[in-house]
Amino acid sequence: MIARLSLVCGVLAALLAPSLLRAEQPVLPLALPSLERSSVSGHLRILSATDAEMIAPLLQGFRHRYPDITVEYVEYDQSQDLNRDVQAACRQHMPLADLIINSAIDLQVKLVNGGCAQRQSLRAALPEWARWRDELYGLTYEPVVIAYRKSAFPAGNPPRSRFEMLDLMRHDPALYYGRVGTYDIRSSGAGYLFMTLDATQASTFGRMMESLARSQARLVCCSAQVLDGLQDGSLSLGYNILGAYALDRQRKGGSEIGIIFPEDYTLVFTRTAFVYKFASNPSAAAAFIDFALSDEGRRISREETTLLNPIDGEPALRVLYGLPPDAPLRLRPIEISPALLLGQDQQKRRHLLKEWLAALHEIASEGPGEGW
């Protein structure tokens, strides 16, 4: 079991370099001039793996700014399904959509690298880590958090780091047996990315895999399923959960849901967008990216959604999540970079998934034990 687990960790460490994670640096918001109504018109078709309800305020603001553009928003449940459809259409040089938005940054980089995007000259003063080749743009600024059910920690002492989470699961395995939720990396593009980055960033990675396996962690497609479990009481902890979704659930009556920014480090990812190579209305697609990153779009993101924006960065994040100015944060934004392509090598990916699944099954078959 230990040999197989070590093999998984070794494969992961070889896939991605730690340099993909940028230590958070202050980003000075550069005010962009207010967007003027233009002659852009027609139909804009957006394919996205973002919940339509969450992005609706931004879509509505765009429609108000550009009343001559009709917007069709096609929502995908899985980022990998979206990637598959775009890749297939791109290979055949077929029109499919005008704008592609996805949370799986590595999949987006692969599509852009494969020639599926159009280069744009946009005005947004994005930080360097949140744009690539004037083709791929980061629209959001989202922490990856530990979520928990508050009543499962009546003393108000949920884990504040990966180390504390490990201690809880190892010292009282029966209590957390079947009550921890995280991504199934076979079906979740974002989950796969977060895991590969954890492997290069966290000294706790091997022990975390072991603990998740021994506790019979619930493997799910998406953050929403973990949040459902936290709300109905079937889960106590959720690992690598999208903070924007957890905060949105809190705001909609999820009083049982708590959010932790891991003190060892907190990944920050951005939903990326590009104008599709064979778009029917590339001008409207570019106008949407420009709007999302404009002063007006950023205001909507800050005040009406939980998605935020890379330009506003950490200061806006602290306000949105109600964090004190002096609360320690170790934010690690995921850089949009061709280095992410290493994790998409298909032979290595298949090998990794096979070994990952075998390791989980092998450890889980030993049961929760008396602590380990």
> Domain for residue 363, yes or no?
no
The residue segments making up the domain with residue 226 are 144-267
List of residues 6+ apart from 49 with CB closer than 8 A: 75, 76, 77, 78, 79, 82, 101, 102, 103, 104
Q: Are residues 64 and 204 in the same domain?
A: no
- Is the model more confident about 162 or about 11? 162
> Domain for residue 299, yes or no?
yes
- Is the model more confident about 131 or about 8? 131
Contact (CB, 8 A) for 146 and 347: no
Contact (CB, 8 A) for 199 and 14: no
Contact (CB, 8 A) for 17 and 301: no
Q: Output phi, psi for 248, to 5 deg.
A: -60, -40
Q: Are residues 155 and 302 in the same domain?
A: no
Give 5-61 pLDDT, tens digit per residue.
Answer: 444 455 545 544 444 555 554 443 433 444 454 568 999 999 999 999 999 999 999
Q: Are residues 250 and 276 in the same domain?
A: no
- Is the model more confident about 356 or about 8? 356
Q: Are residues 283 and 135 in the same domain?
A: yes
- Is the model more confident about 15 or about 290? 290
> Domain for residue 210, yes or no?
yes
Average pLDDT over residues 258-286: 96
Burial of 156 (0-12, 13-18, 19+ CB in 10 A): exposed
Domain termination residue (choose one: 224, 241, 267): 267
- Is the model more confident about 21 or about 332? 332
Q: Are residues 120 and 46 in the same domain?
A: yes
Alpha carbon distance 206, 2 (integer Å): 9
List of residues 6+ apart from 10 with CB closer than 8 A: none
Q: Are residues 156 and 137 in the same domain?
A: no
Domain termination residue (choose one: 211, 239, 267): 267
Average pLDDT over residues 291-300: 95
**Cα angle 238-243-249, degrees, rounded to a multiple of 5:** 80
> Domain for residue 261, yes or no?
yes
Count up the domains in the chain and report the number. Answer: 2
CB atoms within 10 A of CB 366: 12
Domain termination residue (choose one: 234, 267, 300): 267
Q: Are residues 163 and 230 in the same domain?
A: yes
> Domain for residue 194, yes or no?
yes
- Is the model more confident about 243 or about 349? 243
CATH number of domain containing 109: 3.40.190.10
Contact (CB, 8 A) for 159 and 176: no
> Domain for residue 310, yes or no?
yes
* Residue listed under structure tokens 């990856």: 144
- Of 295, 310, 311, whose CA–CA distance to 34 is shortest? 295
**Cα angle 96-334-46, degrees, rounded to a multiple of 5:** 20
Q: Are residues 167 and 243 in the same domain?
A: yes
- Is the model more confident about 359 or about 143? 143
The percent of residues above 70 in pLDDT, for the chain, comes to 84
Residue 221: its pLDDT value, please?
87
* Token duo for residue 265: 């480090």
- Is the model more confident about 285 or about 121? 285
* Residue listed under structure tokens 């609360």: 327
Q: Are residues 149 and 76 in the same domain?
A: no
> Domain for residue 21, yes or no?
no
Local structure of residue 50 (DSSP, 8 states): S
- Is the model more confident about 325 or about 285? 285
Q: Are residues 133 and 154 in the same domain?
A: no
Average pLDDT over residues 143-158: 94
Q: Output phi, psi for 38, to 5 deg.
A: -125, -175
Q: Are residues 90 and 234 in the same domain?
A: no
Please list the helix, strand and coil fractions of the chain in percent, rounded to the nearest 5, in that order. 45, 15, 35
CA distances from 45 to 42, 51, 88, 284, 288 (A): 10, 16, 17, 9, 11
Q: Are residues 178 and 262 in the same domain?
A: yes
Residue 60: its pLDDT value, please?
97
Give 89-107 pLDDT, tens digit per residue.
Answer: 999 999 999 999 999 999 9
> Domain for residue 345, yes or no?
no
With a cut of 60, say whether residue 258 has pLDDT above it. Answer: yes
Q: How confident is the model at residue 174 (pLDDT cuts 50, 70, 90)?
A: confident
Average pLDDT over residues 170-176: 86
Average pLDDT over residues 304-332: 92
Contact (CB, 8 A) for 116 and 275: no
Contact (CB, 8 A) for 255 and 123: no
What are residue 241's DSSP bridge partners?
Answer: 145
Residue 283: its pLDDT value, please?
95
